[in-house]
Structure 1
Amino acid sequence: MMHKPELVIFDCDGVLIDSEILSSRTLSEALRRANVDLSPMDVHLHFTGKSERDIRRICEDEYGLTDTDAVFSSWHETLYEAFAVDLMPMDGMPDLVRSLQVKKSVASNSRNERLLLSLGRTVLWESLAPHVYGADSVKNPKPAPDLLLHCAAQHKVKPEASIMIDDSPHGISAAVAAGMMPVGFIDLNDPRPNREIILRKAGAAHIAKGAEELREILRILGCRFDEAEHLHG
């Protein structure tokens, strides 16, 4: 049994915003221009949930990428263009976040610049800013607990009174290491196999498939919602 929850921390990509397919497609295009032949599905399976620092290292060490800065600069340009046109919040998440009556934060392995140009384009930003923290907010991003502990410290909340919601085993492992309640999130349209098994193995105490299941789990854990806001959101 956890402490009464005072803080809910959300991962961003694949939990709050439907960005992972856009990210995988545009990174695949940038890598293929540099003669690294990875399909969008390859990129999605291998890189989703990892920090850009780790993705760069893997591309260099395992795929022989050499002009890394230029390739990733090109990727950022096309990715942010795609965000401006096609990025949407995950179904039901704006309503859930807006009506949730505890402190809220974001802990993402994306960089802060990317968070501003992705999450910052959506209605979710007004419910979460300024407590939106990317991988470059700390020395060691997820799966280390540092980013989650940073969120809790900014709110002056103890880790044991915090809930972390993530669709990646990196985030779940970080929550376990931080002493927080780990909740796995699954997008029903995610093509990656065995998501529940993977998240459970990482330590997820609960699994939510979509926003409505997440709302019920948060209620069970003791979070309060503004029901009037939910009905009219």
Structure 2
Amino acid sequence: MSKYKCIIFDCDGVLIDSEPIAIGTLVDMANHLGANINLKDALVNFKGKSLNVCLSFISKRIDAPIPVNFEQDYRINTFEAFRNNIKPIRGINEVVKNLTIPFCVASSGPENKIRLNLDITGLLPYFEGNIFSCYALQKWKPEPDVFLWAAKTMGFTPTECLVIEDSVSGVKAALAGGFDVFGYTAHDYKNELEGLATKTFSSMEQLKTII
């Protein structure tokens, strides 16, 4: 039997395959401002980073402040793209529907984005009432705050919880909070999670066997 009493899932890249859509949209918009960012590089360098970090990078590339309406337009564009293209991570439905312990989602994205993408992919009923967003705290990974908040609200200590993450910043956040963290490596482009996470896995089928 698992030693864990609660599982905390990251959202983007763990529950839903949203990062290529979100990063692709961000790169298109940034390049219209003259940022000249390569999409392949952005998929590696923006992965798991807060939007504020990405916008700071873009601002330096264009040597100018980000336009006032940029974030609002980005949300509008990505939400439309999500509605048309978002899909769950392969195998995640089987994982969550067969879990026999409490679980939740803790994400760097705003709650309306989390809810939209979980709803479109059919995952929202599993997480209703157990959604934790960094925006509520104004603290982002690699700070551990969102995971600590999720664990406390769910009624468990960090040592009783397992975090599932796919980014370096997310893994570091979990470790900083005293959690075990399993790293999903399907899109670990630079092989950074091996040796950093408590364990790593490359498919949701594999995750079912190790939790």
TM-score (ref. length: structure 2): 0.93
> Which amino acid in 1 is paired with 2:143?
A
Moved more, 45-54 or 158-167: 45-54
Task: State how far apart, in whole Å, the 2-side matches of 1:14 and 1:72 are.
Answer: 21
Match of 1:193 among 179, 189, 193: 189
Task: State how far apart, in whole Å, the 1-side matches of 2:61 and 2:156 are.
Answer: 40
Q: What SS does the aligned partner of 2:193 have?
A: helix
Mark the runs of 5 or more structure 2 residues left unpaired by the alignment: none
Task: State how far apart, in whole Å, the 2-side matches of 1:9 and 1:185 are.
Answer: 13
* 1:163-209 deviations in Å (ceiling 9; x for gaps): 0010001111111111111100022xx3x5332xx1134x3111110
Task: State how far apart, in whole Å, the 2-side matches of 1:66 and 1:157 are.
Answer: 42
> Which amino acid in 2 is paired with 1:88?
K
Superposed displacement of residue 56, structure 1: 1.9
Q: Determine if contact 2:35/2:61 at 8 Å carries over to the other structure.
A: no
**Higher helix content, 1 or 2:** 1
Q: Determine if contact 2:44/2:189 at 8 Å carries over to the other structure.
A: no
Moved more, 111-120 or 64-73: 64-73
* 1:25-61 deviations in Å (ceiling 9; x for gaps): 1111111111211132232122110111222222223
Report percent identity of matched pairs: 26
> Which amino acid in 1 is paired with 2:41?
D
Structure 2 partner of 1:14 = 13
Alignment CA distance shift 1:78-1:138 (3 Å)? same
Q: What SS does the aligned partner of 2:12 have?
A: coil
Structure 1 partner of 2:201 = 208
Moved more, 115-124 or 77-86: 115-124
> Which amino acid in 2 is paired with 1:217?
I
> Which amino acid in 2 is paired with 1:200?
E
Task: State how far apart, in whole Å, the 2-side matches of 1:133 and 1:54 are.
Answer: 20
Alignment CA distance shift 1:67-1:176 (3 Å)? closer
Superposed displacement of residue 65, structure 1: 4.3
* 1:76-95 deviations in Å (ceiling 9; x for gaps): 22211111111000101011
Superposed displacement of residue 62, structure 1: 4.7
> Which amino acid in 1 is paired with 2:210?
I
Moved more, 62-71 or 152-161: 62-71
The equivalences for 1:77-96 within 5 A come to 77-96=76-95
Task: State how far apart, in whole Å, the 1-side matches of 2:20 and 2:203 are.
Answer: 17
Q: Over aligned residue pairs, what C-alpha RMSD do you find?
A: 1.7
Task: State how far apart, in whole Å, the 2-side matches of 1:45 and 1:4 are.
Answer: 33
